Amino acid sequence: MTTRIGQGFDVHAFGPGDHVMLGGVRIQHERGIEAHSDGDVALHALCDALLGAAALGDIGVHFPPNDPQWKDADSLELLSEVNDQLHANDWALGNCDITIICEKPKIAPHIPEMRQAISTVLGVSEEAVSVKATTTEKLGFCGRGEGIAAMAIVQIETA
């Protein structure tokens, strides 16, 4: 069996709105996300990590922000498309670890639902999906409440 590692990162600014999408979960918040799609930084970082591990480019190549087809796209659908591409190239997820970086909203109460949503789309057990959160101790753009970021690392293996 062959294994590979991939990492991904995404960031979006806060903007008008009353919720954010994170890990495929709608979370009420005093602000929304400025993005072409639903702005789910956790899933975008995960998509980039998966695509990178399989040497298939990045999320911008597959879902360009100037393509109207992806306007307001549900990032769970993007993740499903990426998973299909992995399988078409004889790869499967071994495990993933996602870190969401923000001061607000609070992430911890939503982690079980995020893990369930991601594992369902990827066709793996919830034990293969880790989601956690951290703050920047009020430093930088995340600390000032200007935006939200996420990092992901994945291990894929030959299917």
- Mean pLDDT across 45-62: 96
- The tokens of 46 are what? 């995960």
Measured distance CA(143)–CA(88) in Å, rounded? 40
pLDDT of residue 74: 94
The 10s digit of each residue's pLDDT in 82-139 is 999 999 999 999 999 999 999 999 999 999 999 999 999 999 999 999 999 999 999 8
List, in order of start, the domains of the chain with CATH numbers.
3-158 (3.30.1330.50)
Burial 127-149 (b: 16+ CB within 10 A, else e): ebbbbebeeeeeeeebeeeebbb
In this predicted structure, what is the pLDDT of residue 68? 85
Read off the pLDDT of each residue in 33-56 and give the average, rounded to a whole number: 96
Distance CA 21, CA 26 (A): 5
Query: C-alpha distances in angstroms, 42 versus 35, 72, 118?
Result: 13, 16, 10
For the chain, what percent of residues have pLDDT higher than 70?
100
Q: Which residue has the tokens 């949503």?
A: 117
What pTM was estimated for this model as a whole?
Answer: 0.96
Averaged pLDDT for residues 137-146: 92
Query: Percentage of residues in the chain with pLDDT exceeding 90?
Result: 90
